[in-house]
Amino acid sequence: MGLCVLHSRARVGIHSPEVTVEVHAGNGLPSLSIVGLPEMAVKESRDRVRGALASGRFQFPAGRVTINLAPADLPKEGGRFDLAIAVGILGASGQVRAEPLQQLELLGELALTGALRPVPAVLPAALAARDAGRALVLPRANAEEAALVAGLQILPAEHLLEVCEHLDGRTPLASFDAPQVRRQRPAYPDLADVRGQEHAKRALEIAAAGGHSLLFLGPPGTGKSMLATRLPGILPALEDDEALQVAAIRSVSGREALDPARWRERPFRAPHHTASGVALVGGGSNPRPGEISLAHLGVLFLDELPEFDRRVLEVLREPLESGQILISRAARQAEFPARFQLVAAMNPCPCGYLGDEGGRCRCTAEQVARYRARISGPLLDRIDLQVEVPRLAPERLTERGGTGETSATVQARVERARRHQQRRANRPNAALTAPEIERDCGLDDAGRALMVRALQQLGLSARAYHRILKVARTIADLADEERIGAAHLGEAIGYRRLDRTLPGGSPGADLDRNP
């Protein structure tokens, strides 16, 4: 009888704090107690562990067994501690060697037969184990996900007996590595599939180059959704550490299995307009990431924007500015990254055909105003590019031959513009702070005059003013220009479509021309 100390990992948000599993087997009446703030699934591990040990023909200690999961104030959940508890009992009772355990971390749920079942949120635990300098023992079904972490020794097993034989030195577990998974490149829909809509494609390129939010406004069937799905394909490729951040969020979400073969894809999330605020930002008694976090470093596409509940849309305002979301509950809180690129689409009026050449729209100005008022001014203020997507002429829609540039061609220009931004401020233009805007987005006399006219005639807010400067900076970067010119600024102002009056008047139309 004695004491065995080993290591495992809990999960809190996208983090995986270390849990020290201390198992003491001593004299006294036969009993097993688990302390350290375990939830019900952890408490039930006593029965799973007892059955697994019996199936492996091990002896369960006859005295009092106490299991402490430290730190005591960190909630523990799930069956991820089963393997560590079982091995700890065997180590404390002298049935396996305990010395190798100091260099290992153990994760896995046990079946009554002793087989190891996969557990969720393995990737954050793998990252933490690598940083701690320990090897990770886990179910074989989780090995591919953990193998995304370079520099980590992974020891997969299918049964408790395999782990025990490894500890005793009889049959060492073979290290697992899948480097070919990390080298696969994602495949996205091609921008060349979209016919016409050159103005919208230009806006899409600017949005990708500077990380700007974007709103498409147009009748049904003009290609708004098709354009939005092409945005991930023209964004710069994810770096390894960025891809790991995205994969870690998917791993802890519990909504879908992490596909290691697609781990380098930029996320594209398109929630339905009936989604709740909790579905968008995350929540629950044990907080889980929402759509904005699942879209981290990717695209959040909101189709039929006015059909979303207004209160739901308002929860996007703070994450759009801060790039993160803090979910607080009475017992705990969790912080998730949410640096997503918002792309939205909407019809110009309730029937969808306002401005159509066929004259199909019968909506009154009051109906149009009420429809657009479903989106609050503060949220619209945070959307950098507001672009019309008109219906294509029949001859353009049916023409043969090539339809435009491929995603690869546009992506090359986007990456060049991003390199300018990284060299200048180490971040995309959309994330520039006020001092950085002052430093990097200076205007000449012609540009200042144009900006003054825009502020006066469009009634722009200070936020809109700064966002126009950021967009103009991106347009200049795409043109490889060091300074923002009046032409760049005029184009940026032209993308503030909804800052103008409803059809029948366009007080900002003359601002699209250079003075």
Task: Assess if residue 418 is contained within a domain.
Answer: no
Same domain, 368 and 461: no
For residues 500 and 356, membership in a common domain is answered with: no
Assigned domain for 410 exists: no
**Are residues 354 and 281 located together in one domain of the fold?**
yes
pLDDT tens, per residue, the chain with 515 residues: 689 999 999 998 889 999 999 999 999 889 999 999 999 999 999 999 999 999 999 999 999 999 999 999 898 999 999 999 999 999 999 999 999 999 999 999 999 999 999 999 999 999 999 999 999 999 999 998 999 898 999 999 999 999 999 999 999 999 997 655 555 567 899 999 888 889 999 999 999 999 999 999 999 988 999 999 999 999 999 998 999 999 999 988 877 767 777 788 899 999 999 999 999 998 877 788 999 999 999 999 999 999 999 999 999 999 998 999 988 876 678 889 999 999 999 999 999 888 777 778 889 989 998 998 899 888 998 999 999 998 888 777 777 755 688 999 999 999 999 999 999 999 999 999 999 999 999 999 999 999 999 888 888 888 899 999 999 999 999 999 999 999 999 999 999 877 754 443 333 333 333 33
Q: How many CA atoms lie within 13 A of 432 on its CB side?
A: 28
| Position 138 in a domain | yes
Residues 22 and 107 in one domain: yes
Distance in angstroms (rounded) separating the CA atoms of residues 378 and 372:
13
For residues 360 and 447, state if they share a domain: no
Phi, psi of 123 (to 5 degrees): -60, -45
Distances, alpha carbon 484 to alpha carbons 86, 424, 468, 478, in Å = 65, 14, 11, 11
Q: How far apart are the first and last CA of the chain?
A: 88
Does one domain contain both 35 and 154? yes
The HSE-up count of residue 113 (CA atoms within 13 Å, CB side) is 5
Domain assignment present for residue 412? The answer is no
Calpha distance 157→108 (Å, rounded): 10
Domain co-membership, 244 together with 177 = no
Of the three residues 181, 207, 225, the one that is the final residue of a domain is: 181
pLDDT per residue over 329-352, tens digit each? 766 788 899 999 999 999 999 998
Residue 424 lies in a domain: no
Can you tell me the distance from the alpha carbon of 441 to that of 30, in angstroms, rounded to the nearest whole number? 73
Find the angle CA(326)-CA(131)-CA(161) to the nearest 5 degrees. Answer: 105
Number of C-beta neighbours around residue 373 at 10 A? 11
Q: Which domain holds residue 124?
A: 3-181
What separation in angstroms does the CA of 205 have from each of 29, 191, 302, 479, 493?
72, 10, 19, 12, 16
Q: Same structural domain for residues 291 and 380?
A: yes
CA 84 to CA 97: how far, in whole Å?
Answer: 14
Q: CATH no. for residue 343? A: 3.40.50.300
The 3-state DSSP class for residue 109 equals strand
State pLDDT tens for residues 423-463. 999 999 999 999 999 999 999 999 999 999 988 888 888 88
- Is the pTM here over 0.85, yes or no? yes
- Whether 308 is covered by a domain: the verdict is yes
Say yes or no: 177 and 195 in one domain: no
| Residues counted in the chain | 515
Those residues with Cβ within 8 angstroms of residue 456's Cβ, 6 or more apart along the chain or in another chain: none
